[in-house]
Amino acid sequence: MPNPPGKARNSSGSTFTREWLGDAEVPAGAIQFRAVSFNLLADGLAHGTPAGTQLPAPPARSDWKAPLVPSGIAFVTTAQSASEQPKSFRCPEPHLAWHRRWPKLQEEILSHGADVLGLQELDFTGDQNHADAILHVLEGEGYAFAVAKKKGRACDGVAILWRRERLEAVGQPQIWKLSSNVHVAIAQKLRLDGGPEFLAVATHLKAGESVAAETERLSQAEGLLCEIRRRLLPTLVLADLNSNCRPLYGWKGETLPPRVYEHLRAAGFKSAYHAVAGEEPAFTCWGGWQGFDVAGVFDYVLCLGQRLQPVRVLSLPPAEE
């Protein structure tokens, strides 16, 4: 399934201006497919400011020494003031309402024609349970799916979806618990166009811009690797690792090394974006919280095995979008 050159906005109807990168020769007889990973921002986690409130970005921090690529906490007053701010976005609450966001998310997700789709932060909150509605819509668009809710009281989960006309499930999906907390991965063995088989995995690791959080994520990543090694299959991981690919500059002034990213690469995984573009993008996530901004590369399409070779990727939209 070759990807068209030029702007994705023109070719796929994406909301953002994005370009296809990569011009690698595709070996004769190779079977191409397209994979997309997307964090939906669960409705139960989408807390904003009261209606009619418009908060400016906090002042730029005076000790900001990050390179030109934004990675870390770009705006903050002081560590104390940042910690005292509520854990909510500067965006007014009505703009984060699910009935407003879901049509835009649906349009964006479907615009890319994914054969394999990984979703994070599917919302299972109470009576709302948007996960059922989301999966019903995508099922109507030709996808089959497997879902895993996080453990404990967490309100969200992950899903792996595959286009039925090209892929079929081999065996039952498996839910892997990662380390000792609530986080999980969902794994499904798939057969592509009646031929080669591979393992597709969706996961979402612990959040947090601290050494302790990165240490926990490293443990989760090792748990993920242990499960994958047992399967001995080419593996596609669609993940929100919550871990940057470069040193992350925290709001307390500390520097957080990219331990999870390096650990997965050392284990043989290659990032599709890095493999095609030669480096990771400037960011995949830019969150405007009330006390600070977070910008970093947290979302990845990862491949393990010689039979999975990235050939093209979509660039990230400009920061101003």
DSSP category for residue 276 = H
Phi, psi of 20 (to 5 degrees): -80, 130
Measured distance CA(147)–CA(152) in Å, rounded: 16
pTM of the model: 0.89
Predicted local distance difference test score (pLDDT) of residue 2? 41
- The rounded distance, in Å, linking the Cα atoms of 46 and 231 is 36
Question: Nearest 5°: CA angle at 243, between 104 and 305?
Answer: 90
Which structure tokens are listed for 276? Answer: 């095609």
Q: Which residues is 73 bridged to in the sheet?
A: 294
User: For residue 273, what pLDDT is reported?
Assistant: 97
How is residue 164 written in tokens? 């039925």
Query: In whole angstroms, what is the distance from residue 321 CA to residue 318 CA?
Result: 6
33-313 CATH, one of 3.40.600.10, 3.60.10.10, 2.40.170.20, 1.10.10.10: 3.60.10.10
Q: What is the pLDDT along the chain (321 residues), one digit of tens a residue?
A: 344 434 444 444 566 788 889 977 787 888 999 999 999 998 888 888 887 677 776 666 555 554 444 555 555 556 666 667 777 888 888 889 999 999 999 999 999 999 999 999 999 886 667 899 999 999 999 999 999 998 888 888 999 999 999 999 999 999 999 977 789 999 999 999 999 999 999 999 999 888 899 999 999 999 999 999 999 999 999 999 999 998 887 767 778 889 999 999 999 999 999 999 999 998 898 888 887 778 889 999 999 999 999 999 999 887 776
Q: Are 262 and 271 in contact (CB under 8 A)?
A: no
**What whole-number distance in Å separates Cα of residue 297 and Cα of residue 274?**
12
Which residues have CB under 8 Å from 66's CB, separation 6+? 72, 74, 249
- Residue-level pLDDT at 108: 92
